Structure 1
Amino acid sequence: MNPETGFVTQVGMEYEEAFEVADDLGFDYVEVMMDGANERTRIDPESVRSRADDCDVGLAVHLPFSLDIGSPFEHVREGAVRELQAAIETAREFGATKGVVHASSSAWKPAWDAEEIGSNVVESVNALDEFARERDVELCVENIPDGWFSVHDFDGLFAETDASMTLDTGHARMDGLDSGDIAAFVERHGDRISHFHLNDTRRAKDEHLPFGAGTLDFRAIFDALPDDWEGTLSLEVFTLDYAYIETSKAYLDELL
């Protein structure tokens, strides 16, 4: 296994400083959260690319969170896809090679059929995946807990799309998988999992602790990957203190 490692920027992190920290700590890339201050109309792609080049770090992006690609309302769904395509285009301009998108919907559950919403998600993922591939960006679809499209639904996504997966370990835990279950999922689908959000947790909550501070058995999860796996591992730690990122990196390096 020969993965690249990085971390996801959080709200309040300036990307310029994040790139410097990534360089200092020996990360391969930074996953820029394209929401809030880093929304596509608020950042200059040339400045992002230049700063990343100066710090010798690669780039991935987390595409905007709350765009409803599974909405039962046609104009909402199509607008979400168009906005995500515009974000992918911006990400390509500053050199990102992967884009994470949520497989989710905010549709009102009492009123709508799960099969219909799931079909909408699949249709949107296919459109976004085609758009991203044409721009040499790999779309990586993330499992979202307690929603219309959890980790338990990804067999259908794998069957009906060619998109890669971002496996968020904490989200999988929230949907009832323990470390052994996550490892078994990885063993079955390691060829489709291109990217991880290493979200550590002590229980079935979205805690995003420093890596190693929770109870997930990441050694077992990593051991389930194919020997020749060359994907990417993003630490997703809810902190503005880079000391926790440094501690997480040290533990991740030890496991790898």
Structure 2
Amino acid sequence: MGIRRGFVTQIGMEYEDAFAHADAFDLDFVELMMDGQHVRNRLDPEAVQESAVENDIDLAVHLPFALDIASPFEHVREGALRELLAAIETAADCGAEKGVVHASTSAWSPAWEHDELREQLLDSVRELDGFASEHGFEVCVENIPGEFFPAERFPRLFDATGASMTFDTGHARMNGMDSTDMADFLDSHRDRVTHLHLNDTRRASDEHLPFGAGTLDFGTILDPLREDWTGTLSIEAFTLDWGYMETSVERLDALL
């Protein structure tokens, strides 16, 4: 199957339009942001699946990320888990193969030990991963900027869960990784990193520029994945201008 390419939808993109443009750009999939107008209880799974099939597009999703599955507060954590489990079920009904989950918490940092919160995150990930597997769906946990669960801590998640990883390049840069560091990480963990967010940036900031507009060396970053890696690459650019997206795809294809 090899490397497959797609993009993450943004607020203001209707999924039908996103699927049609992905087809026009000869992309393999769309990563549907399941928030706002595309939250699970506003989606018609049959209609989503039909539109994807019509455009010959595979589907991934970015699950809602403002849900605290590591919260120290039991009812908050359990509520967040229930919502994500329901979103996974909806995503699977839409025909999605994988979904991104944030490794983050909104807990008040001075009051709570990170190690305790990380264990609660891992417990939640195990539950999500087990439920997802029953639905033929893959959970891909994303590295988030900060000290709670950056990319460097993911070996702990790999040891403790069966979940895959979404490696976000912009987030990794915010945590001090340069392009060579990212390549080394991907080389070491290419069996567990099955999805990438190609988040381009000019500096250590979450800029989400069109692909190639920043200063990340994606040739170096992607080099360990060129042979026998069968994951997915999502261009994650904060734009509603399809011209920028088309240029991003052209630049990615030229690099690959």
- Map of 2:189 onto structure 1: 189
5+ long unaligned stretches in structure 2: none
Count, aligned residues: 256
Q: Structure 1 residue runs of 4+, over 3 Å off?
A: none
C-alpha displacement of 1:152: 2.0
Contact 1:105-1:147 at 8 Å conserved across structures: no
- Superposed CA offset, 1:168-208 (max 9, x none): 00000001101111111111111110000000001100000
RMSD in angstroms over aligned alpha carbons? Answer: 1.0
Counterpart-to-counterpart distance in 1, 2:146 and 2:12: 27
User: Are positions 1:229 and 2:229 aligned together?
Assistant: yes
What's the counterpart of residue 254 of structure 2?
254
Deviation string 1:154-176 (CA, Å, 9 cap, x unpaired) is 11111111100000000000011
Distance 1:217 1:105 in 2: 30
1:8 is matched with 8
Looking at structure 2, the residues matched to 226 and 250 of structure 1 have their Cα atoms a distance apart, in angstroms, of 17
- Quick check: 1:199 aligned with 2:183? no
Residue equivalent to 1:179: 179
Q: Deviations for 1:201-243, whole angstroms, at most 9, x for unmatched residues?
A: 0110000001011111111111122621010000000000011
Which secondary structure does the structure 2 equivalent of 1:252 belong to?
helix
CA offsets, 1:43-75, max 9 Å, x none? 111111111111110100000010001000111
Note the 1:127-138 alignment, pairs <5 A. Answer: 127-138=127-138
Structure-2 separation of matches of 1:82 and 1:108: 22
In structure 1, distance between residues paired with 2:147 and 2:248: 29
Does the residue aligned with 2:60 lie in a helix, a strand or coil? strand
- In the alignment, the residues of structure 2 paired with residue 182 and residue 190 of structure 1 have an alpha-carbon distance, to the nearest angstrom, of 11
The SS at the match of 1:194 is strand
SS class of match (2:141): strand
Measured in 1, the distance between the counterparts of 2:93 and 2:224 equals: 35
Match of 1:96 in 2: 96
AA in 1 matched with 2:169: T
Q: Distance in 1 between matches of 2:187 and 2:152?
A: 15
**Residue ranges of structure 1 left out of the alignment (5+ in a row):** none
Name the stretch that deviates more: 32-41 or 151-160: 151-160
Q: Does residue 1:43 correspond to 2:16, yes or no?
A: no
Amino acid at match of 2:121: V
Matched letter for residue 64 of structure 2: P
1:84 aligned partner = 84
1:70–1:118: 8 Å Cα contact kept in structure 2? Answer: yes
Q: Retained in 2: the 8 A contact 1:12–1:240?
A: yes
Is this contact kept in 2: 1:4–1:233, CA < 8 A? yes
Which stretch has the larger CA shift, 120-129 or 215-224?
Answer: 215-224
What whole-Å deviation, never above 9, does each CA across 1:97-127 have from its counterpart, x for those lacking one? 0110001110000000010000011000000
Query: For residues 225 and 116 of structure 1, what CA distance do their matches in structure 2 show?
Result: 34
1:11–1:36 Cα contact (<8 Å) kept: yes
CA contact (8 A) 1:58 1:96 kept: yes
SS at match of 1:172: helix
If the length of structure 2 is used for normalisation, what is the TM-score? 0.98
CA distance in structure 1 between the aligned counterparts of 2:180 and 2:51, rounded to whole angstroms: 40
Q: Which residue of 2 aligns with 1:65?
A: 65
Alignment partner, residue 157 of structure 2: 157
Q: What is aligned with 2:208?
A: 208
Q: Could you say which residue in structure 2 is the equivalent of 1:107?
A: 107
Alpha-carbon distance between aligned partners in 2 of 1:2 and 1:97, rounded to the nearest angstrom: 16
What residue in structure 1 maps to residue 27 of structure 2? 27
Tell me which amino acid in the other structure corresponds to 2:228: D
% identical aligned pairs? 62
Residues 190 and 226, structure 1, Cα contact 8 Å, conserved in 2:
no
